[in-house]
């Protein structure tokens, strides 16, 4: 299918701010998180979205995955508006776009084992009960974890393992688009490298379209082919990742790059950090992911 897989058309999202008394006194105001955003994401593209806190990155992700609806404008999946898909049947939209959240601990039910968590997700994809355990093991292997993780509870896994489990749960739906919202911000550098390597490998092997939201320009440089710079709910600059980071044209992008501590100058080079060049997990083929359930 030609054309962008995900599009935003003049999307605005605002939230009320102020308390009940403010509204009674007519002092109600709204915070504009996204202000007339238009954007196309091509199939198979790996896009980094950067900007300071409050720039609208996570709001954009929430709209794309269907967790929120725009105040105005349209979000489109293969040219079909979210509003119509959600009204008629949200299942296909939910399956095709999945999200990996920043806080891996709160994203997993602390009272359910990893195996049960994956099994319930597979059930939503209508995988037969007698095949769920096998598929759960395959998903764990896909993200570099062994079958011994299945009977464990989330608190028995490390931060890096929990983030991989969250990724496995998202992949259980066999999505076309994966949105990763600050997925490594709470991990140390070595674990960040493992997760970034894993995302890089999976996007290539599974043909995923990836939206990677991060504050870390070095990670965006290592993973993404295109970068989108956001400020105050607007896109101020976008283009090929290496070009934008090497020759930023907007003053805000220049400030973001200048704010990178000089002590990690090595991470600002166009070469990938050595840690990011190591394999993160056992390879799996695209056919295994997209094979019949």
State the pLDDT at residue 120: 92
pLDDT of residue 284: 39
Model confidence, pTM? 0.81
Pick 156 or 265 by higher pLDDT: 156
Residue 276 is predicted with a pLDDT of 38
Place 91 in a pLDDT band, splitting at 50, 70 and 90: low
Q: Flag whether pLDDT at 293 surpasses 60.
A: no
How much is the average pLDDT of 118-139?
A: 92
> Does the structure show a pLDDT above 60 at 219?
yes
Helices 159-171 and 114-124 pack at an angle, to 10 degrees, of 20
Q: How many residues does the chain have?
A: 293
Supply 73's token pair.
């404008």
Q: Is pLDDT of 164 > 70?
A: yes
Question: 21 or 189: whose pLDDT is higher?
Answer: 189
**What pLDDT does 286 receive?**
39
**pLDDT band at residue 112 using 50, 70 and 90 as cut-offs:** very high
Q: What is the pLDDT of residues 171-181, one digit of tens each?
A: 999 999 999 98
pLDDT above 70: residue 288: no
pLDDT score of 106: 82
pLDDT exceeds cutoff 80 at 279: no
| 6, 76 Cβ separation under 8 angstroms | yes
Cross-strand bridge partners of residue 239: 227
Establish how many alpha carbons lie within 13 A of residue 8's alpha carbon, considering only the half-sphere containing its beta carbon.
25
Least confident interval from 2-11, 40-49, 274-283: 274-283
| Residue 35 · residue 98 · CB < 8 Å | no
**pLDDT given at position 188:** 76
Q: Chain-wide mean pLDDT for the chain?
A: 82
Sketch out the chain's domains with CATH numbers: 43-75+92-290 (3.40.50.300)
Q: Which two tokens stand for residue 163?
A: 């983030």
Q: How far is CA 227 from CA 167, 207, 272, 275, in A?
A: 22, 19, 16, 22
């Amino acid at each position: 299918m030609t054309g962008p897989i995900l599009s935003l058309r003049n999307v605005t999202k605002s939230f009320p701010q102020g308390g009940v008394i403010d509204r009674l006194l007519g002092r109600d105001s709204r915070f504009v998180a996204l202000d007339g955003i238009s954007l196309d994401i091509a199939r198979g593209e790996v896009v980094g979205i950067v900007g300071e806190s409050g720039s609208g990155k996570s709001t954009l992700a929430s709209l794309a995955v269907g967790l929120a609806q725009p105040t105005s404008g349209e979000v489109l999946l293969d040219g079909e508006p979210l509003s119509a898909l959600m009204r008629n049947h949200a299942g296909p939209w939910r399956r095709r776009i999945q999200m990996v959240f920043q806080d891996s601990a709160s994203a997993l039910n602390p009272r359910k084992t990893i195996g049960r968590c994956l099994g319930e997700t597979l059930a939503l994809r209508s995988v037969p009960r007698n095949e769920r355990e096998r598929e759960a093991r395959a998903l764990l292997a896909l993200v570099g974890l062994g079958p011994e993780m299945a009977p464990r509870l989330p608190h028995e896994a490390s931060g890096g393992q929990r983030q991989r489990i969250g990724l496995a749960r998202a992949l259980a739906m066999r999505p076309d688009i994966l949105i990763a919202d600050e997925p490594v911000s709470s991990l140390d550098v070595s674990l960040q490298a493992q997760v970034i390597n894993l995302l890089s490998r999976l996007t290539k092997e599974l043909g995923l379209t990836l939206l990677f939201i991060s504050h870390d320009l070095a990670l965006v440089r290592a993973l993404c082919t295109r970068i989108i710079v956001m400020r105050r709910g607007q896109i101020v600059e976008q283009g090929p990742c290496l070009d934008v980071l090497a020759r930023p044209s907007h003053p805000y992008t220049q400030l973001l790059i200048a704010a990178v501590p000089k002590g990690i100058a090595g991470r600002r080079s166009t070469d990938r950090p050595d840690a990011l060049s190591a394999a993160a997990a056992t390879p799996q083929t695209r056919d295994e992911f997209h094979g019949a359930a």
